[in-house]
Amino acid sequence: MKFAVNVIEALLIVAIAPLVRGVIARVKARIQNRRGASVLRPYADLLKLFRKEDLVPDTASALFRFAPVVLFAVTVTAAAFVPVLHPSALLGVSGDFIVLVYLLAAGRFFLMLGAMDGGSSFGGMGASREALVSTLAEAPLFLGLTSVAILAHTVRLSGIVEFSVRQNPFQLSAVHVLAFGALALVAIAETGRIPVDNPTTHLELTMIHEAMVLEYSGPSLALIEWASAVKLTLIMALLVGVFVPWGMATSNSLLGLAFALLAFLFKFAVLAIVIAMIESSLAKLRMYLVPDFLGVASALAILAVVFTALMR
């Protein structure tokens, strides 16, 4: 039973990832007074891309075809570490939050390699920007997760989530507030949402992710897009699981799991609306201000770690 639930959790993240994107795009369209495409549009996009021909530049090596597959595989593996309905995950070992951070880093590494292998100057430019952002985002992501791990006295993600579930919702701990601030900023940078990167732009001066995938087409592009949607969903699920997990099932009863699914969908809907509102009300930062943005995240994360010692 528990195994089945864990498999469903991992599949849920992978399956609803395009939907999450669709909902964010739809809410954004509504805020901007447009009707917007159907929330199922990303699925149609993926289906269309999977049917198309995969064009490979003449200059590219085998790595170009290989990179999206690795990226997708690694991201889906990372998704299997995140507890969604129940404070346990399909893959869970001691210290798995470290594995999660570096699985995401490995995926990004291969995407950057593929982008540079494509041979266009945009690929290299996007890869260098992505390298800058991810280098700066790694420390706060890691420290933020470490601080909640110290608080929960466990190095397993499922243990951290279980600690949060059992915590009194009104007992606000400084560590949680600071770590949430840090991880929310990191999540924006990691998933390439608006103040850091604009997912809908093709303007050469500002794009990061789009510049990297410019040379890709067909099934490869579909895999990359799906992987980045999975990454967005898994980071959202991670934030929800670590900071607002209330409603998660603590036993394996069917009723509890159904309630947990409803609570999960509700929290995701709220989060999607919040993201859409942030994206509609903020302008993209200049590239030189991104280090500042992530510097704030680092300061918050460091403060969170130090506070674990101060506020017992």
Judged by the rule CB under 8 A, the positions of this chain that interact with other proteins are 168, 170-174, 177-178, 181, 291-296, 298-300, 302-303, 306, 310-311
Say how far apart CA 125 and CA 123 lie, in whole Å: 5
CB of 166 to other proteins, least distance (A): 16
Task: Decide if 204 contacts 292 (C-beta within 8 A).
Answer: no
Closest by Cα among 156, 213, 206, 148 to 182: 148
Closest to other proteins by CB, 212 or 294? 294
Q: How far is the CB of 311 from other proteins (least distance, A)?
A: 7
**Structure tokens given for 28:** 């954004």
Is the Cβ of residue 80 or residue 178 nearer to other proteins in the bound state? 178
DSSP string, 85-133: SSS--SS--TTHHHHHHHHHHHHHHHHHHHHHHT--HHHHHHHHHHHHH
For residues 33 and 168, which CB has a smaller minimum distance to other proteins in the complex?
Answer: 168
End-to-end Cα separation, the chain, in angstroms: 37
Q: Judged by CB, which is closer to other proteins: 119, or 295?
A: 295
Nearer to other proteins by Cβ, of 171 and 281: the residue is 171
Nearest approach, Cβ of residue 165 and other proteins (Å): 18
Which lies closer to other proteins via its Cβ, residue 198 or residue 298? 298
- Smallest distance from other proteins to CB 172, Å: 4
The span from the CA of 297 to the CA of 135, in Å, is 13
How far is Cα 101 from Cα 36, in angstroms, rounded to an integer? 34
Closest approach, Cβ 277 to other proteins, in A, equals 17
What is the C-alpha to C-alpha distance for residues 312 and 310, in angstroms, rounded to an integer? 6
- Residue 155: is it exposed, middle or buried by C-beta count within 10 angstroms (0-12/13-18/19+)? middle
Of residues 211, 183, 208, 214, the one with CA closest to residue 196 = 208
Give the shortest CB-49-to-other proteins separation in angstroms: 39
Least Å from the CB of residue 181 to other proteins: 8
